[in-house]
């Protein structure tokens, strides 16, 4: 084989290799090695350690622009809560979030045989940001106009008869799946700091550095940063899903880039050597 041929490799072969390598993990996670960071372990252990039947409040505050990172975080978190027998109440402060959230949690609930209104309730989008969150700490029914995402009265749901306010004693854990404002800061300011309810956060990767100080001070008990955090969480749960698929594809893509860079350099130096030998 003449190594110099590598420098003139048809670029279409590179595209074919990329396509094959990126598509395979999307159908079947490869389970490439991945270490679980302390903040992700703390996140998982916080949910794991709650007594069965605990009420978990999830603020799903993001838009389609960050769904690639936030959707896997929400899916793994909701699945873990359902596995442990917790009750979940979901609120969206972003108007584009409700349909995204439904597409994630409802199929998981059906798969696991969970009952809407008993095991979980989606309050839907409520305007006002932090003001809405503060109002929920006083009376959920009043703050949500008394209806859920579909317009059904909250009084019809056993879970909402049990939980009337976002208060300690009624809600055991608050989780924010966020990509900006409104989001985690509103829960820190109006719920977890003043009321003492344990708090977890799922930021996009770009927001991690801004939230790490709150993790170190224990105001945030655990973090699930971006797609990588969601993938680590899936591994911790022993249930690899969309995050692991995407991380496997991403990791393989990086390896292929490095491989072709190396082959290109080998071809370049081999062709120079051949030209030098021919000139003599």
Residue-wise pLDDT for 249-261, tens only, equals 666 666 767 776 7
Strand runs (DSSP E) across 10-158, as ranges?
Answer: 55-61, 87-92, 120-125
CATH architecture of 38-239: 3-Layer(aba) Sandwich (3.40)
Average pLDDT (133-146) is 96
Contact 109, 116 (CB under 8 A): yes
- Are the C-beta atoms of 14 and 260 separated by less than 8 Å? yes
Provide the sign of the torsion angle of the four alpha carbons 111, 117, 121, 124, taken in this order.
positive
**In this structure, how many other beta carbons lie within 10 angstroms of the beta carbon of residue 213?**
10
Length of the chain equals 280
Question: With 90 as the cut, is the pLDDT of residue 7 above it?
Answer: no
Which of 154, 134, 138 is closest to 146 using CA atoms? 154
Distance, CA of 137 to CA of 199 (rounded, Å): 15
**Model-wide pTM > 0.85:** no
pLDDT for position 174: 98
């Amino acid at each position: 084989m003449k190594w110099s041929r590598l420098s003139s490799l048809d670029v279409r072969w590179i595209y074919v290799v990329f396509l094959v390598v990126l598509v395979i993990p999307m159908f079947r996670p490869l389970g490439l090695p991945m270490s679980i960071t302390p903040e992700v372990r703390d996140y998982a252990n916080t949910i794991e350690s709650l007594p069965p039947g605990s009420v978990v409040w999830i603020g799903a505050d993001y838009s389609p622009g960050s769904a690639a990172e936030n959707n896997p975080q929400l899916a793994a978190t909701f699945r873990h809560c359902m596995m442990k027998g917790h009750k979940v109440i979901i609120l969206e402060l972003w108007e584009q979030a409700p349909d995204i959230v439904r597409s994630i949690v409802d199929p998981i609930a059906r798969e696991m045989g969970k009952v809407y209104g008993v095991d979980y309730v989606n309050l839907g989008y409520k305007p006002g940001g932090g003001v809405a969150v503060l109002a929920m700490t006083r009376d959920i029914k009043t703050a949500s106009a008394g209806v859920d995402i579909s317009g059904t009265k909250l009084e019809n749901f056993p879970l909402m008869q049990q939980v009337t306010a976002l208060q300690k004693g009624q809600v055991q854990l608050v989780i924010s799946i966020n990509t900006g404002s409104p989001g985690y800061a509103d829960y820190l300011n109006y719920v977890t700091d003043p009321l003492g309810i344990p708090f977890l956060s799922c930021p996009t990767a770009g927001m991690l550095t801004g939230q790490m100080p709150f993790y170190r001070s224990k105001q945030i008990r655990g973090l699930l940063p971006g797609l990588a955090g969601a993938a680590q969480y899936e591994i911790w749960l022993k249930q690899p899903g969309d995050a692991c698929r995407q991380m496997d594809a991403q990791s393989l893509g990086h390896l292929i880039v490095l491989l072709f860079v190396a082959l290109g350099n080998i071809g370049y130096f081999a062709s120079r050597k051949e030209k030098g030998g021919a000139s003599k």
